[in-house]
Structure 1
Amino acid sequence: MTENFTTTITVDATPQRAFDAINDVPGWWGRITGSTTAVGDEFVYVVPGLHYSGFRVAAVEPARRIAWLVTGSYLDFVADKQEWTGTTVRFDIERAGDQTRITFTHEGLAPEDECYEVCSNAWGMFVNGSLRRFIETGHGEPYRFGGDEELSAADHSRLHEQVAQAAGRAGDAG
């Protein structure tokens, strides 16, 4: 049986506050283009020169669950550059006494994947650190880029188009 990457945090916040913070992706993960608030919305996340991923919101249950399908991806540091494509990122939210427990799962990110060590460490840093702080204090630690790494709105638009085209090709192959 393949194991998916999972990590769980418990925060001093209501489930709705946790849900709202998770949906504010730039506040804890980094700059995106697109929208994350309704099923069918699409967005793109980029780490310049290293990684970009396109996501489609697959589930939105206020104060309970958020899920994003990876519609296209590019990971510069592994042989299978599209290793994330077709995987799902999920946040399950539940009350735990006077706190809230968030179980993060990247379905399809498994120990046998080449990016597992790097990607699970990055998810751990963002979920266990930045997202937790963002929920509890309103201040996360998302990736920020400047200088040569800074991407313009046109750069993000072009990457969004590339992810959409990759998703179309993957759909045609299926």
Structure 2
Amino acid sequence: MPTQNFSYTFTTSKPIDKVFNILIDPQKWWYGLHNEIITGKSEQLNDIFIFDAGNGVHHTKQKLIEVIPDKKIVWEVTDSNLTFASKADEWTGTKIGFDISTKDNHTQVVFTHNGLTPEFECYEGCSSAWTQYLEKLEKELN
């Protein structure tokens, strides 16, 4: 049985370029639930941003490693400190990204956290948090 990475898919009537411009900037969608602080940039290849949340509980550093305008965004987690997990660097080396496409005259967004699998200690809590952020984003885009 193949390993199942966390994934979330939704569609919106918003134009693909507008959706892409929101997704490329984590400050526009990865906020509002757990006292997030996002610093750095995420607009061009190799840009780096830092995500802190939960008053020190979650700290990660992401590097933009792939960007295809209006189609694909991928960040690699280059550093992580999840203080609630026994393996605090569990996210290091995983990849977070969006695939964006047109489907039935709508924009389809597929989010995948490649490497966040049920074997991870934080899988339940992290996948639940991702779902909260992505449901909020989906609601804001519809």
| TM score, norm. by length of structure 1 | 0.74
Higher helix share: 1
Partners of 1:11 and 1:132 within 8 A in 2: yes
Please tell me the root mean square deviation across aligned C-alpha atoms, in Å: 1.1
1:129-165 CA-to-partner distances (Å, cap 9, x unmatched) read 2x223434xxxxxxxxxxxxxxxxxxxxxxxxxxxxx
Higher strand share: 2
Partners of 1:50 and 1:77 within 8 A in 2: yes
What's 1:39 paired with? 45
For structure 2, which runs of at least 5 residues remain unmatched after alignment? 32-36
The correspondence for 2:84, drawn from 77, 88, 92, is 77
What's 2:12 paired with? 11
Cα shift at 1:113: 0.7
Q: Which runs of 4+ in 1 moved over 3 A?
A: 133-136
Cα shift at 1:128: 2.1
For structure 1, which runs of at least 5 residues remain unmatched after alignment? 137-174
The number of residues matched between the two structures is 135
The 2-side partners of 1:96 and 1:13 are apart by 12
| TM score, norm. by length of structure 2 | 0.90
What's 1:50 paired with? 57
Partners of 1:64 and 1:92 within 8 A in 2: yes
SS at 1:106 equivalent: strand
The 1-side partners of 2:113 and 2:65 are apart by 13
